[in-house]
């Protein structure tokens, strides 16, 4: 059996042949010159070698600011990650505006839409097309040889791309650019009047090299070409009435022909062969090597081996390094304008830029205000994720973390068997380390109900509330447990919360309710987790456990009333008080966190005020608990402790927050302001 990638390539190539046969029929069927057209040959240097001045045939690069169109078919979580790496490589070298036409399933659309919206790269337009709409066009094809339908979709693109679009570059998700895509686009200029499609041959076991020197008749299309990089003349395809006709023709052909006989193709004139450097394929290295040994430049690398990065090949290191370059490349560096081209930014990005420009660099809180305004690039569901089945009382644990807390994930998975939505604050390079980390952990690999959302790092302060909002927005159950990554919940908490929500009939209550999960902490870094409330109380009495932040910030959890909790057999109501910041379970549609609180301090306090202002009832659960594990102080808390500016800015933001409360809740917000008055500095 062929490896998966190979099978897909074969399927696509076979279909491509059909397209060419059919189009040829309509373009040349009634043409007296049919069959006389010479086989396509390459102008100039087949390897696209660099001695450009020796070749008068080097195509004109497209004019500055000309829009180039690129189409990509993408489905699922893993391909969506690939698309981002591919697009990073394209953006790194590009100098023209781009329009990306993305044919996606629902998963990829949701991931990529969020990613591009938050990426805000100038001079990149995005349009999505629903892959579902293409399925009927290809689903009739007997697909015993095909790994799926998505590999074939790129060949029926003309039926959904806009009529106004004359030319498009079609790319597989597993290619990496190491050159300006405008150079590829420029090869359209080489097309003869009749050519409709540009392709690189398969770098397989025969023919490569011969072709260029002897101009032999065209080889079998079915084996001859790779569809990882395609130039399509959509206008000519449409002109041929292709959309309506190819299905009929292809059906007839499929009924009567085998793949091998399909190889005796009839219309070489339609294919424009591209220099091999535009699709250097790693699945068969021997002949790909011939391509790159003669060329100085590789333009596009195609990871069309099922082994991908692990492919064994004496030059694999070279290709791997190019690919790793863009895997780890900091995407925010690609937010660069194209000088001298007209307006390139989406309106939101324009507004953001203006707001940033209005900040006063001399103001003491400048760094904070800049961080507050920063829009982080977000890659939701970075890893394959199975959404939880709809259950009315289900709860998702919501938390955020950065690289230094990865080692908490396994323990957290053991303590919380339910769905989780976690925001990870990472650089692009760290995101790759994170992938490796999950891949080598059997515990994490087994959990498809944990959704990881990567928020890319930018700026010096930890955007804690923006991260919480990302994780919260992606939670898919009716309820969420708003936790922190350093807490391990009681082993029973997930079941207990669902049972409590059901028993309390929260979903049918008129009153909005926030269930409080009492928080404890251990100061020891070796610690045996209590299996029950009784065990916890024993540890508490023995001094091995404390109520959370009892020593430095008792007001944060005092209103939970731990004394009452010890004895409680039923949920009990507590009142809001200043600086209260319990960990709570609330409906998914609860208020968002206030993103003005970045770095350390007051980020949860403000959220609880908001809940109280919106009249959430605070209900402490008698059997619920969660325990904070010790860790070295974060850099943010160290900075807070050492910097008066940090504390002053936090104070300023608290006041701005209260002004906002007063605007929204009027007199009802007065109690929060009153409580603020003897402003306690927090340390």
Nearest to 119 by CA among 304, 280, 334, 286: 334
Q: Applying CB under 8 A, does 297 fall inside the site for a copy of itself? A: yes
Q: Applying CB under 8 A, does 459 fall inside the site for a copy of itself? A: no
> For residue 643, how many other CB atoms are within 10 A of its CB?
11
Question: Which residues are CB-neighbours of 608 under 8 A, at least 6 positions away?
Answer: 576, 580, 581, 582, 584
Which of 296, 355 has the CB closer to a copy of itself? 296
Stretch 223-242 residues interacting with a copy of itself (CB under 8 A): none
Among 136, 217, 340, 347, binds a copy of itself (CB under 8 A): 340
The stretch near a copy of itself (CB under 8 A) out of 15-23, 404-412, 448-456, 500-508 is 404-412
- How far apart CA 353 and CA 103 sit, in angstroms, is 30
Which of 193, 552 has the CB closer to a copy of itself? 552
Nearest to 200 by CA among 178, 233, 161, 229: 229
- Torsion, Cα 410 411 413 416, to 10 degrees, reads -170
Among 61, 125, 537, 652, binds a copy of itself (CB under 8 A): 61
CB of 221 to a copy of itself, least distance (A): 29
Report yes or no: 207 and 291 within 8 Å, Cβ to Cβ. Answer: no
Q: How many CA atoms lie within 13 A of 608 on its CB side?
A: 27
Among 352, 504, 635, 676, binds a copy of itself (CB under 8 A): 635
> For residue 66, how many other CB atoms are within 10 A of its CB?
12
Which of 277, 471 has the CB closer to a copy of itself? 277
Q: Applying CB under 8 A, does 59 fall inside the site for a copy of itself? A: yes
Query: Burial letters for 323-343: b for 16+ Cβ neighbours within 10 Å, e otherwise?
Result: beebbbbebbebbeebeebee
**H-helix or E-strand containing 212?**
helix 210-214
CB of 120 to a copy of itself, least distance (A): 12
Stretch 189-218 residues interacting with a copy of itself (CB under 8 A): none
Stretch 427-446 residues interacting with a copy of itself (CB under 8 A): 427, 429, 436-437
Which of 32, 340 has the CB closer to a copy of itself? 340
Q: Applying CB under 8 A, does 342 fall inside the site for a copy of itself? A: no
CB of 81 to a copy of itself, least distance (A): 19
- How far apart CA 128 and CA 71 sit, in angstroms, is 10
Nearest to 118 by CA among 337, 294, 352: 352
Stretch 89-118 residues interacting with a copy of itself (CB under 8 A): 95
Q: Applying CB under 8 A, does 293 fall inside the site for a copy of itself? A: yes
- How far apart CA 139 and CA 135 sit, in angstroms, is 5
- What x/- string results for residues 542 through 571 when contact with a copy of itself is judged by CB under 8 A? ---------x--------------------
- How far apart CA 187 and CA 165 sit, in angstroms, is 17
Which of 253, 350 has the CB closer to a copy of itself? 350
Q: Applying CB under 8 A, does 337 fall inside the site for a copy of itself? A: yes
The stretch near a copy of itself (CB under 8 A) out of 138-146, 335-343, 555-563, 660-668 is 335-343
CB of 520 to a copy of itself, least distance (A): 15
The stretch near a copy of itself (CB under 8 A) out of 23-31, 148-156, 522-530, 646-654 is 522-530
Which residue bears the tokens 């609860």? 590
Report yes or no: 491 and 418 within 8 Å, Cβ to Cβ. Answer: no
The stretch near a copy of itself (CB under 8 A) out of 60-68, 243-251, 252-260, 599-607 is 60-68
Report yes or no: 265 and 221 within 8 Å, Cβ to Cβ. Answer: yes
Q: Applying CB under 8 A, does 414 fall inside the site for a copy of itself? A: no
**H-helix or E-strand containing 396?**
strand 395-402
The stretch near a copy of itself (CB under 8 A) out of 131-139, 252-260, 330-338, 649-657 is 330-338
Among 35, 387, 417, 630, binds a copy of itself (CB under 8 A): 630
Report yes or no: 425 and 400 within 8 Å, Cβ to Cβ. Answer: yes
- How far apart CA 677 and CA 316 sit, in angstroms, is 65
Q: Please compute Rg for the chain using Cα positions.
A: 30
- Cα–Cα distance list, 355 to 24, 276, 350, 463 (Å): 56, 47, 9, 18
Contact set with a copy of itself (CB under 8 A): 49-54, 56, 58-61, 63-64, 95, 182, 289, 292-294, 296-297, 315, 317-318, 321-322, 324-325, 328-330, 332-337, 339-340, 403-404, 406-408, 410, 427, 429, 436-437, 460, 523-526, 551, 629-635, 638
């Amino acid at each position: 059996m062929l490896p998966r990638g190979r099978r897909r390539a074969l399927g696509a190539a076979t279909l491509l042949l059909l397209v060419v046969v059919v189009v040829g029929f309509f373009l040349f069927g009634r043409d007296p010159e049919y069959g006389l057209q010479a086989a396509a040959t390459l102008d100039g240097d087949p390897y696209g070698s660099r001695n450009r001045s020796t070749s008068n045939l080097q195509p004109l690069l497209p004019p500055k600011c000309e829009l180039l169109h690129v189409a990509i078919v993408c489905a699922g979580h893993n391909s969506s990650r690939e698309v981002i790496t591919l697009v990073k490589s394209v953006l790194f070298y590009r100098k023209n505006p781009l329009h990306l036409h993305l044919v996606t399933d629902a998963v990829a659309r949701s991931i990529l839409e969020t990613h591009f919206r938050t990426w805000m790269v100038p001079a990149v337009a995005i349009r999505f097309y629903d892959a579902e709409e293409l399925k009927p066009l290809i689903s009739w094809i007997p697909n015993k040889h095909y790994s799926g339908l998505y590999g074939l979709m790129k060949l029926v693109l003309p039926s959904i791309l806009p009529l106004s679009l004359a030319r498009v570059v079609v790319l597989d998700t597993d290619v990496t650019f190491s050159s300006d895509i405008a150079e590829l686009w420029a090869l359209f200029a080489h097309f003869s009047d009749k050519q409709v499609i540009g392709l690189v041959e398969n770098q397989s076991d025969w023919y490569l090299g011969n072709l260029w020197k002897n101009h032999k008749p065209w080889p079998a299309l079915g084996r001859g070409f790779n569809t990882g990089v395609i130039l399509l003349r959509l206008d000519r395809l449409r002109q041929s009435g292709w959309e309506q006709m190819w299905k009929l023709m292809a059906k007839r052909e499929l009924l009567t022909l085998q793949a091998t006989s399909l190889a005796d193709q009839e219309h070489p004139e339609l294919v424009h062969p591209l220099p091999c450097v535009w699709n250097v394929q790693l699945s068969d290295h021997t002949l790909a090597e011939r391509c790159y040994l003669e060329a100085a430049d590789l333009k596009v690398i195609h990871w069309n081996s099922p082994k991908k990065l692990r492919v064994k090949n004496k030059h694999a290191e070279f290709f791997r390094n190019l690919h790793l370059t863009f895997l780890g490349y900091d995407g925010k560096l690609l937010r660069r304008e194209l000088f001298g081209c007209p307006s390139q930014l989406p309106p939101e990005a324009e507004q953001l830029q203006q707001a940033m420009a209005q900040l006063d660099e001399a103001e003491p809180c400048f760094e904070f205000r800049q961080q507050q305004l920063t829009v982080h690039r977000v890659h939701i569901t970075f890893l394959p994720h199975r959404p939880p089945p709809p259950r009315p009382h289900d709860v998702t644990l919501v938390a955020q973390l950065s690289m230094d807390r990865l080692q908490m994930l396994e323990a957290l998975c053991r303590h919380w068997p339910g769905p989780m939505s976690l925001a990870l604050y990472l650089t692009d390079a760290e995101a790759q380390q994170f992938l490796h980390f999950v891949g080598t952990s059997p515990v994490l690999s087994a959990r498809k109900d944990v959704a990881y959302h990567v928020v890319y790092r930018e700026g010096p302060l930890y955007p804690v509330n923006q991260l919480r909002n990302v994780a919260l927005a992606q939670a898919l159950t009716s309820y969420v447990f708003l936790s922190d990554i350093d807490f391990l919940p009681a082993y029973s908490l997930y079941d207990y919360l669902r049972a409590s929500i059901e028993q309390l009939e929260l979903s049918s209550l008129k009153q909005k309710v926030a269930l409080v999960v009492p928080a404890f902490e251990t100061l020891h870094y070796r610690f045996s987790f209590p299996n029950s409330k009784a065990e916890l109380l024993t540890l508490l009495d023995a001094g091995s456990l404390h109520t959370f932040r009892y020593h430095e910030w008792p007001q944060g959890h005092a209103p939970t009333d731990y004394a009452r909790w010890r004895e409680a057999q039923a949920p009990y109501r507590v009142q809001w008080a200043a600086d209260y910041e319990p960990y709570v379970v609330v409906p998914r549609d609860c208020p968002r966190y206030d993103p003005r609180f970045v770095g350390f301090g007051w980020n949860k306090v403000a959220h609880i005020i908001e809940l109280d202002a919106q009249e959430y009832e605070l209900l402490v659960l008698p059997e619920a608990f969660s325990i904070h594990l010790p860790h070295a102080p974060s850099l943010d808390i160290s900075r807070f402790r050492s910097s008066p500016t940090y504390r002053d800015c936090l104070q300023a933001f608290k006041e701005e927050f209260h002004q906002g409360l007063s605007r929204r809740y009027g007199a009802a917000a007065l109690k929060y302001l009153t409580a603020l008055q003897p402003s306690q500095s927090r340390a």
